[in-house]
């Protein structure tokens, strides 16, 4: 994370927001994995920050479900339980279906072109971290025309909680080819202004992602 120090001067938010964003990205990219302690002394030294804004940042990440505080261990990257995965995907399906319903009538040609460009890059991309970022960008482009800021923020938080596993364990979470086909199907439904079709494909898309993640968590608990 040393390169993050030079980026602090470019960050427009508070120090705690900068730390939270830096740690959030590190978790997404697999630097910190599930159940791994976040050593505050080391992080503070790496980022050249004090303990107070670092603590505030960790509390923020706790509210997003990315960090937990454990007795005698301090801050630790959270590990989702199967029950939490089921709950998150149930919420995602409900909220993202609503986002689709509100966004499809408002989607503009320029946004469709952007979404198409992102999918073309995904089809060629080999780097797991970049693929995950592009996947997030694709969905954001399609949901933003819903013009429901609070809804989109909630969707992003839920996506972050499960999306981090995509980067770390992508090779083990099979079905990436099917995922690409579903992405293209959702985009086609948007072009056709077909809300029901887009929601149907989204349901399949999220259902498969939930199944793959549940399978991984089962394997993880057996090894652990």
pLDDT-derived band at 2, boundaries 50, 70, 90: low
Please, what are the domains in the chain? Answer: 3-77 (1.10.10.10), 82-223 (1.20.120.530)
> Cα–Cα distances in Å, from 189 out to 91, 149, 160, 219?
22, 23, 25, 35
Q: What does the pLDDT read at residue 167?
A: 64
172: which residues sit within 8 A by CB, 6+ positions away? 216, 219
Residue 50 phi/psi, 5-degree rounding, is -90, 170
- When pLDDT is averaged across residues 175-204 and rounded to a whole number, the result is 92
Four-point Cα dihedral 208, 213, 218, 224, nearest 10:
170
The answer to whether residue 80 scores a pLDDT higher than 60 is yes
Is 0.85 topped by the overall pTM?
no
Most confident range, picked from 7-21, 125-139, 145-159 = 145-159
The answer to whether residue 11 scores a pLDDT higher than 80 is no
Q: Which of 63-67, 170-174, 201-205 has the lowest mean pLDDT?
A: 170-174
pLDDT-derived band at 3, boundaries 50, 70, 90: low
Q: What is the DSSP letter of 37?
A: B
> Distance between CA atoms of 60 and 98, rounded to whole angstroms?
26
In our burial notation (b when 16+ CB lie closer than 10 A, e otherwise), range 103-113 reads bbeebeeebee
pLDDT, averaged across the chain? 87
- When pLDDT is averaged across residues 49-70 and rounded to a whole number, the result is 93
- When pLDDT is averaged across residues 190-209 and rounded to a whole number, the result is 96
- When pLDDT is averaged across residues 173-183 and rounded to a whole number, the result is 74
Q: What does the pLDDT read at residue 92?
A: 97
- When pLDDT is averaged across residues 132-148 and rounded to a whole number, the result is 94
| DSSP per position, 101-137 | HHHGGG--HHHHHHHHHHHHHHHH---HHHHHHHHHH
- When pLDDT is averaged across residues 162-180 and rounded to a whole number, the result is 67
pLDDT-derived band at 223, boundaries 50, 70, 90: very low
- When pLDDT is averaged across residues 195-214 and rounded to a whole number, the result is 93
> Distance between CA atoms of 175 and 29, rounded to whole angstroms?
20
- When pLDDT is averaged across residues 54-77 and rounded to a whole number, the result is 92
- When pLDDT is averaged across residues 141-156 and rounded to a whole number, the result is 97
Q: What does the pLDDT read at residue 87?
A: 96
> Distance between CA atoms of 57 and 64, rounded to whole angstroms?
11
């Amino acid at each position: 994370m040393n390169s993050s120090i030079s980026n602090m001067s470019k960050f427009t938010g508070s120090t705690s927001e900068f730390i939270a964003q830096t740690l959030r990205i590190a978790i997404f990219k697999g630097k910190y994995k599930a159940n791994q302690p976040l050593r505050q002394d080391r992080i503070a030294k790496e980022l050249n920050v004090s303990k107070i804004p670092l603590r505030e940042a960790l509390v923020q990440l706790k509210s997003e479900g990315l960090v937990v505080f454990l007795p005698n261990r301090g801050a630790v990257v959270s590990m989702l339980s199967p029950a939490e995965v089921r709950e998150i995907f149930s919420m995602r399906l409900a909220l993202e279906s609503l986002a689709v319903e509100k966004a499809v009538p408002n989607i503009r040609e320029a946004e469709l072109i952007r979404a198409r460009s992102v999918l073309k890059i995904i089809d060629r991309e080999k780097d797991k971290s970049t693929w995950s970022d592009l996947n997030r960008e694709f969905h954001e482009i399609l949901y933003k025309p819903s013009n429901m800021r609070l809804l989109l923020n909630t969707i992003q938080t839920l996506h972050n909680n499960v999306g981090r596993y995509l980067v770390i364990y992508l090779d083990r979470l099979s079905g990436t080819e099917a995922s690409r086909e579903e992405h293209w199907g959702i985009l086609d439904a948007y072009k056709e202004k077909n809300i029901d079709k887009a929601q149907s494909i989204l349901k399949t898309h999220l259902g498969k992602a939930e199944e793959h993640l549940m399978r991984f968590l089962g394997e993880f608990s057996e090894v652990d």
